[in-house]
Structure 1
């Protein structure tokens, strides 16, 4: 059995009182938590981690270029990191998806939450898209893809192509180049998928992230029942996913808005694919500029959907993000007819549930609206939330009925 670790592993010893994250069940050891490293290693190698008193904490891969110095692979010091171990991790991830989500298109591996830190693998129909963000897991990428294809084939799913979208800036913090391109043979990178009865052409080469946001799958489904016969506004529509769910549910009129001309062009293409181009229209505009104009024109909607990009990707910019979320929610509420519905979300990990909820409450108070919560949801189960890894929880999604104060 091929192994991916050396015989004589370096031993990393933590400082006394450190290692709180991994002691709570998490996957990361930070650079300032380490007291010493005994033995030789190269960046990306597997090492053994000991607590300050020599108690074994498990194994992970090390990278001196990163503040996240070690990403844990196993809590068992005797576990060998080999093909059998990786097969077990991948099979566990796949079996979990088979029980919890529609697997026609889904995220099969979600990094730390699937105990394979630093790698994401999405399946769009019969195509895999891989995003590798950490050096140690990057070395294992070829074998992980090979093993996953074998597992899927065992269930009668033949993968016709693999595309790499390891082009995120965070790779540079790991001392790696940003990569994008085919792994193996080339293929048509426009992939047709069906989700919630809606067809999409997913552009795995030039679409955002890995090509399509699978995490909102069941949140998009949740708005369908509100949209029959409704006039709907979908803000930050990207490639039209919420707008098309409204259309397929029988909305009489849908306007999707996005600042990206490419996004709007793809959304129109998706509308035509579903025969919805007469009822679902798209406009390229800045949402922050358009909402006050719609209000001034006296426009009202039965359903308003706010699905913005992350307004903050760090703790430093949270204050500005709060202003942005408050502004769009305030404007969105003003455009909802009395008794209509607002769907609103945040995909920023740093915009906590408590802060997001408080921000929406402030917006409602500022425009004298009463909110009746219909439901609160988060990311789809193929993006599992590992309770001891805070970074795995990022998506917050509310549906409210918006009522006038009277």
Structure 2
């Protein structure tokens, strides 16, 4: 291991009684926890984090333009954040996915940011192509090293770079959707999941193209749907819909999404999996569609709700809670007696307990009983870090509504 002199780096000193989360290895140091900065670190520079009393805590990367002023990566004072360090972190992440899938996966999350000790980096693997998303300006400053390392370790045909909404402003990060190395990915790419085939547009699709985090949940939900008439809201490119039809043998599935381009892909995916006769897709706003279906007195045996993130900051939690309440309340009005409600939240700021309370209020307001059959989370290639519980973001409740 390369060593260096810790004294050579700028130092970030915490305020009194602010050090405990970072001794416990939480990776985000917000600006409000910092007393002062000794030295003149520039965006992306390596810094040392010390308590108010001067005790070493960790090494991290500095960004004066982000509210997350320092992202922490190593809790060893003599371990520099150099290419060797990043290489070892990538090795650990890749080894986990090889253990999970046994061979290079046709579709998985290869690196999951904080959970893999690489705060600010997400990498998805689509067969011979990688999709990389940066959410940290400081880490993105080392992107050339990361692209070289990924090419050495994974040997993809190409690496495509995607951005996330709001990150540029939050981080002062200037990156654009573009080809990083190698060949541009075909459109669509194809992935296999639970024996199903899905086309994915990683260039213009939502987020990083496909929601691998719901892989196991799609299979789990399908077990409850034999012979059912199913409504799948926020269906995107048809993941839950097609699993319900093909794996679950649902009688019919109606998928609804606001994106016509996503629905085009969903229809092609239905043809690919030979379920076009069982599945239909409609374009529409979720809330207005649900309200219209309630007015029309339509009824379903099962309703699936998988909305996009509804709380992006703490200031948005209350509005998100109202949104989740409204969606689930409308869904209950559409369910037959003993119907199945599958309701999801990918808002990390809404805890599992918060979501349970919302569902309890929904059931009371509707005058119906709700039994939780399964509480599920994200797939194992999206592991949860016990040091950063924000990584436990996905909630999937499978419920019987009496």
Length-normalised TM-score, structure 1: 0.92
Trace 1:66-81 onto structure 2 (pairs within 5 A): 66-81=66-81
Distance in 2 separating the partners of 1:388 and 1:2: 26
Deviation at 1:173, TM superposition (A): 2.2
Query: How far did 1:2 drift?
Result: 8.9
Is it true that 1:172 corresponds to 2:174 in the alignment?
Answer: no
Partner of 2:233: 235
Q: Aligned runs of 1:91-170 on 2, under 5 Å?
A: 91-100=91-100, 103-152=105-154, 158-170=155-167
- Paired with 1:141 and 1:373, the residues of 2 have a C-alpha distance of 44
- Secondary structure, counterpart of 1:313 in structure 2: coil
Q: Deviations over 1:355-394 (max 9, x none)?
A: 2111111111111211121100011121122122132121
Distance 1:305 1:193 in 2: 23
* One of 191, 196, 219 as aligned partner of 1:193: 191
How many pairs does the alignment contain? 398
Pairing partner for 2:243 from 242, 245, 251 = 245
Q: 1:6 to 1:58 in 2, by over 3 A?
A: closer
C-alpha contact 1:345 1:397 (8 A) present in aligned 2: yes
TM-score, normalization by structure 2: 0.93
- Do the aligned residues in 2 keep the contact of 1:167 with 1:178 (CA within 8 Å)? no
Task: Mark the runs of 5 or more structure 1 residues left unpaired by the alignment.
Answer: 153-157
Structure 2: which 5+ residue stretches go unaligned?
none
Please name the residue that 1:27 is paired with.
27
Q: 2-side partners of 1:291 and 1:325: how far apart? A: 13
User: Which runs of structure 2 are paired with 1:2-401 in the superposition (5 Å)?
Assistant: 8-100=8-100, 103-152=105-154, 158-187=155-184, 188-249=186-247, 250-401=249-400
Distance 2:296 2:36 in 1: 66
Per-residue CA shift, 1:280-334, capped at 9, x if unaligned?
1100012212223323333222221011112221222222222221121112122
The two structures, once aligned, show a CA RMSD in angstroms of 2.1
Cα gap change, 1:123/1:291 in structure 2, threshold over 3 Å: closer, same or farther? same
Q: Matched residues in 2 for 1:113 and 1:398: separation? A: 23
2:204 aligns to what SS in structure 1?
coil
Check 1:336–1:5 CA distance in 2 against 1; reply closer, same or farther (3 A cut).
farther
CA distance in 2 between partners of 1:317 and 1:41 (Å): 32
Distance 1:262 1:168 in 2: 19
